[in-house]
């Protein structure tokens, strides 16, 4: 057995990075690492980074700057940068910040033990290749520890869409889907370890087209239906979707697959056709709204979430008004909105940029509307019966907190034995960022509490 060392990973960016950080912790377990939740006693620190907006990328350098003191007192400490900034700026990171020992891009995480050994030996280790082999195949040496009730599972990675503002096709590479039986095996294993809810991940998860055990290509709907057959798995979700990859079967699944939760993150970015075209989104505002209508016909209580960019090059007041109009037409239960950030190497970076103050002002107006909608959607839950998957202890003694079907955080008085169970709850109050619920009694099996497998 190698000696035990401590690993601290700080994760930025999207859920795919969260999933990757878990895999990195597991793969480095073989080199003797155990996770720690503070950088202070770590033998290795990894920053798992995000490159999506300028601010996200800059954070990495300021965080590294803060580590100088730590490294000075503990020369054996190894510091690494992983994730999308590593992929985009690998060599530059090494140049700008000499305290960095290793830089590893998202497609090379299975090579971490080897790179760590090289760094331990005193060499600098850089790997930002897109290797031929499938990293997921080599990230399989997992300890069988108990898991939290809700887990992420990456099924697809990369993107071929090339939206004019976005770095993902460059940092994560071309779209790749994992074979369906690998996903099913990993899901079964997660369920064996206590997981009750799985969120399938991909930069364009609904473009999933993995090879099935029958040798045919499976779409995401087929995969979801198979996963729904796993005993003990209570809930399925998926994120993030592109409107153009939402096929008929996936729309139908929202209506006929009870384990698929009534929540969908479906980014539109803008409500102006002119801007959508300039963004290379390849859909219009009307086609998006028509898609939302079809989804809601399949699942009337579907709660929609979205992403928006304001201040994209060329955006006029009229274009922005179209975005507000689309938001009013759709009605979002949840949304993320961003000021356009110029990303070097993307097509929109070379276009005339709009005044940042104007963009800030538009962002504030959009966020006011989205917050109002979010609050209304939350308030509308009061009085309704739903189910909650309890995840952990809540803020107050005797309370648990978990997620509703519509992904709202719900606090309720409940015994700790309900952690990891899907429980019927009546929503009684709406607070700014969460709901309060009352656990409904288990009425002689009429509305049974779903217990773990
Ligand atoms: N694959 C997803 C989104 C991935 S990035 C999709 O196609 O929708 C997550 C979000 O970050 C995007 O939806 C977009 O709203 C935002 N984003 C991406 N690049 C950006 C940029 N250059 N400036 C501001 N926001 C950006
Ligand atoms: Fe980026 Fe567009 Fe691909 Fe989403 S679909 S990851 S926004 S390029
Ligand atoms: Fe960021 Fe990379 Fe995810 S750029 S949003 S961490 S895919």
Q: Same domain for 119 and 11?
A: yes
Q: Same domain for 122 and 9?
A: yes
Does residue 379 belong to any structural domain of this protein?
no
Q: Which domain holds residue 417?
A: 385-439
How many structural domains is the chain composed of? 3
Picking from 102, 127, 152, the residue at the C-terminal end of a domain is 127
Question: Mean pLDDT throughout 34-50?
Answer: 95
Does residue 48 belong to any structural domain of this protein?
yes
R_g of the chain, CA atoms, integer Å: 23
Q: Same domain for 160 and 241?
A: yes
Question: Mean pLDDT throughout 347-363?
Answer: 97
CA distance 188 to 10: 28
CATH of the domain at 169: 3.30.750.210
Q: Same domain for 151 and 235?
A: yes
Nearest atom in ligand 1 to the alpha carbon of residue 341 is 23
Q: Given a cut of 90, is residue 2 above it in pLDDT?
A: no
pLDDT of residue 294: 98
Residues 217-275 have pLDDT tens digits of 999 999 999 999 999 999 999 999 999 999 999 999 999 999 999 999 999 999 999 99
pLDDT of residue 445: 45
Helix (H) or strand (E) holding 425: strand 422-430
Q: How many angstroms is it from 168 CA to the middle of ligand 2?
A: 6
Picking from 221, 243, 261, the residue at the C-terminal end of a domain is 261
Q: Same domain for 152 and 69?
A: no
- Is the sign of the CA dihedral 33, 34, 37, 38 positive or negative? negative
Nearest to 353 by CA among 314, 319, 318, 321: 314
pTM of the model: 0.95
Residue length of the chain:
453
pLDDT of residue 139: 72
pLDDT of residue 137: 74
- Report the residue among 12, 83, 169 best suited for mutation to probe ligand 3: largest number of ligand atoms under 8 A from its CB: 83
Nearest atom in ligand 2 to the alpha carbon of residue 162 is 8
Q: Residue 83: CB within 6 Å of ligand 3?
A: yes
CATH of the domain at 91: 3.40.50.12160
Does residue 87 belong to any structural domain of this protein?
yes
- Is the sign of the CA dihedral 81, 86, 91, 93 positive or negative? negative
Query: Chain-wide mean pLDDT for the chain?
Result: 94
Residues 414-452 have pLDDT tens digits of 999 999 999 999 999 999 899 999 999 874 444 445 544
Picking from 261, 281, 298, the residue at the C-terminal end of a domain is 261
Q: Same domain for 110 and 195?
A: no
């Amino acid at each position: 057995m190698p000696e035990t060392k401590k690993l601290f990973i700080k994760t930025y960016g999207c859920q795919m990075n969260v999933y990757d950080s878990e895999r990195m912790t597991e793969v480095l377990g073989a080199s003797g690492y155990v996770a720690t939740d503070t950088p202070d006693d770590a033998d290795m620190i990894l920053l798992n980074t995000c490159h999506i907006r300028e601010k996200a990328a800059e954070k990495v350098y300021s965080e590294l700057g803060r580590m100088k003191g730590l490294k000075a007192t503990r020369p054996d400490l190894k510091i690494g940068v992983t994730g999308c900034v590593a992929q985009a700026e690998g060599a530059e990171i090494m140049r700008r910040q000499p305290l960095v020992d290793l830089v590893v891009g998202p497609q090379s995480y299975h090579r971490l033990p080897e790179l760590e050994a090289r760094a331990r030996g005193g060499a600098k280790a850089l790997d930002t290749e897109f290797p031929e082999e499938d990293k997921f195949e080599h990230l399989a040496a997992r300890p069988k520890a108990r898991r939290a009730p809700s887990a992420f599972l990456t099924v697809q990675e990369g993107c071929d869409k090339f939206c004019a503002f976005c770095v993902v096709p460059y940092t994560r590479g071309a779209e790749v889907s994992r074979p369906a039986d690998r996903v099913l095996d990993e899901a079964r294993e997660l369920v064996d370890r206590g997981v009750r809810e799985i969120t399938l991940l991909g930069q364009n998860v609904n473009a999933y087209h993995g090879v099935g055990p029958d040798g045919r290509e499976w779409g995401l709907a087929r995969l979801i239906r198979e996963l729904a057959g796993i005993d003990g798995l209570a809930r399925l979700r998926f994120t993030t979707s592109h409107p153009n990859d939402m096929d008929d079967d996936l729309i139908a699944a929202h209506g006929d697959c009870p384990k698929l939760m009534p929540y969908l993150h479906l980014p539109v970015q803008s409500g102006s056709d002119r801007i959508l075209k300039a963004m290379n989104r390849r859909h219009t505002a009307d086609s998006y709204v028509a898609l939302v209508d079809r989804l809601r016909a399949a699942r009337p209580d579907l709660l929609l979430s979205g992403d928006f960019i304001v201040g994209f090059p060329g955006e006029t007041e009229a274009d922005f008004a179209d975005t507000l109009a689309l938001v009013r037409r759709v009605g979002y239960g949840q949304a993320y909105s961003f000021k356009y950030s110029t990303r070097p190497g993307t097509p929109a970076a070379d276009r005339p940029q709009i005044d940042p103050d104007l963009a800030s002002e538009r962002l504030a107006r959009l966020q006011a509307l989205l917050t109002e909608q979010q609050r209304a959607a939350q308030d509308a839950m009061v009085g309704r019966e739903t189910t909650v998957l309890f995840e952990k202890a809540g803020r107050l003694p005797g309370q648990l907190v978990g997620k509703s079907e519509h992904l709202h955080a719900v606090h309720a008085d409940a015994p700790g034995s309900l952690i990891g169970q899907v429980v019927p709850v009546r929503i009684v109050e709406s607070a700014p960022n969460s709901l309060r619920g009352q656990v409904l009694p288990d009425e002689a099996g009429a509305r049974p509490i779903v217990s773990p497998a």
